[in-house]
């Protein structure tokens, strides 16, 4: 009894290619006409083994189809979850962007007004560093321009696309061209 269950477990753990081959062979053997088996002088053997071969073919086909449907469902669910997660991530990003202050929007407006994706900002600029921390901007180079503390800072692609597609986001915002945004004493 245990040997049968072990063999059944081994059979059911076959990969799809092997299951497909077993199913095809079984169905060919079962569906070949009696005349072919008679001409091969295997009619008696075929008649004795046909129910067993039919059962194996049916089991292999059922397992192949159900495994394929299970994998398709699993793939579909993972894609659906991925899309849902992407949408929620996009919504969270947009919420961060929409909560930007007027001064932060002035920096973003500079990218749009100059139609560039890279601007050199001073490393000590707190507003720019805040936008970097929020994931709206990123420092594209770890080296500064010679004789200054200016580092190239890029706008994220998704922010660029959002601002281009939603011009009302920067309505009445004048780009800041000073470069630094800190309190001066």
- Portion of the chain with pLDDT greater than 90, in percent: 22
- Count of positions (residues) in the chain: 185
CB of 159 closer than 8 Å to CB of 107? no
Summarize pLDDT for 143-162 with one digit per residue, the tens. 666 667 788 889 999 999 99
Q: Rounded to whole angstroms, what are the CA distances from 170 to 33, 113, 115, 126?
A: 78, 10, 14, 21
CA–CA dist 65, 87 (Å, integer): 33
pTM (two decimals): 0.53
Summarize pLDDT for 70-82 with one digit per residue, the tens. 888 989 999 998 9
3-state DSSP assignment of residue 153: strand
CA–CA dist 127, 133 (Å, integer): 10
Instruction: Count how many Cα atoms sit within 13 Å of the Cα of residue 11 in the half-sphere of its side chain.
Output: 17
Provide the token pair at 25: 């062979």
Mean pLDDT within 38-67 = 89
Mean pLDDT within 125-143 = 87
Confidence band for 182, pLDDT divided at 50, 70 and 90: very low
CB of 152 closer than 8 Å to CB of 141? yes
State the pLDDT at residue 178.
62
């Amino acid at each position: 009894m245990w040997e049968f269950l072990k063999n059944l477990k081994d059979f059911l753990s076959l990969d799809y290619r092997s299951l497909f081959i077993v199913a095809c062979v079984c169905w060919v053997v079962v569906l070949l006409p009696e005349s072919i088996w008679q001409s091969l002088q295997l009619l008696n053997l075929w008649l004795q083994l046909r129910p067993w071969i039919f059962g194996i073919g049916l089991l292999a086909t059922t397992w192949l189809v159900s495994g394929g449907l299970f994998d398709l469902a699993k793939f579909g669910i993972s894609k659906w979850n991925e899309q849902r997660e992407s949408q929620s991530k996009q919504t969270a990003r947009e919420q961060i962007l929409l909560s930007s202050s007027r001064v932060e929007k002035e920096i973003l407006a500079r990218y749009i007004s100059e139609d560039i994706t890279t601007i050199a900002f001073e490393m000590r600029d707190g507003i720019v560093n805040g936008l970097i921390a929020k994931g709206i901007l990123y420092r594209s180079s770890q080296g500064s321009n010679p004789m200054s503390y200016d580092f190239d800072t890029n706008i994220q692609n998704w922010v660029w696309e959002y601002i281009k597609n939603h011009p009302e986001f920067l309505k009445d915002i004048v780009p800041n061209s000073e470069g630094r945004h800190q309190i001066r004493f």
